[in-house]
């Protein structure tokens, strides 16, 4: 199993990749004193060098302890994105592939989500159309396995950038909307995705 030391060579910028101002969950009122949330520099995407030759270019690797997603590039490099991950007991490691891609996807909570938190999710049991308030955000990459098909795990956007770097989701991996759009545009169907164990 790869660890952080074996995976990364540097946490420094080697060239900015889509510097991203994050936006708060709700719109600011005209006379509101609430400031726009700016994603901290440590959460901005950056190019890093890989210490290992074991990862092929064109894969996605999520390391939950780092709250980081790496999209591997040629010549032992990768783009590192900061992410939010599944909260305790809901993060599911494994090897997957991208079985579907959707822009501004609709969303329906799973039966398990409704069972765990009916007050939060039952009202959405019939689904929610895509849009800025949708929990899946601007884009979603759907994780499949050959055995199960759709696993109901997603790599998706979020309209709440304050959740990046936290274990808050029901199992999915989330990026700020601007960054998930960037990643979505790079990722072809059937891309290998590895959610590494905690």
Q: Which of 43, 61, 156, 196 is catalytic?
A: 156
Dig out the tokens for 54 from the structure: 């074991």
> How far is residue 58's CA from residue 192's CA, in Å, rounded to a whole number?
8
Annotation marks residue 172 as catalytic: yes
Annotation marks residue 31 as catalytic: no
- Among 99, 100, 120, CA closest to 170: 120
CB 164 within 8 A of CB 174: yes
Dig out the tokens for 43 from the structure: 């959460």
Q: How far is CA 75 from CA 33, 50, 72, in A?
A: 47, 9, 9
3-state secondary structure of 157: strand
Q: Which of 43, 61, 172, 196 is catalytic?
A: 172
Please list the active-site residues: 156, 172
């Amino acid at each position: 199993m790869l660890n952080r030391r074996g995976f990364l060579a540097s946490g420094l910028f080697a060239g900015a990749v889509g510097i991203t101002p994050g936006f708060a969950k709700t719109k600011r009122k005209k006379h509101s004193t609430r400031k726009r949330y700016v994603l901290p520099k440590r959460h901005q995407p950056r190019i890093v060098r890989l210490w290992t030759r074991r990862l092929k270019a064109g894969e996605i690797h999520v390391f939950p302890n780092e709250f980081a997603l790496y999209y591997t590039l040629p010549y032992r490099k990768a783009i590192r994105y900061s992410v939010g991950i599944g909260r305790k007991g809901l993060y599911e490691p494994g090897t997957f592939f991208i079985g579907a891609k959707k822009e501004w996807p609709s969303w329906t909570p799973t039966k398990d989500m409704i069972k765990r938190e009916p007050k939060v999710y039952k009202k959405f049991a019939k689904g929610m159309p895509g849009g800025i308030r949708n929990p899946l955000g601007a884009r979603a990459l759907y994780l499949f396995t050959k055995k199960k098909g759709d696993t109901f795990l997603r790599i998706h956007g979020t309209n709440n950038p304050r959740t990046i770097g936290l274990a808050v989701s029901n199992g999915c991996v989330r990026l700020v909307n601007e960054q998930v759009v960037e990643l979505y545009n790079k990722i072809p169907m059937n891309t290998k995705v590895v959610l590494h164990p905690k």
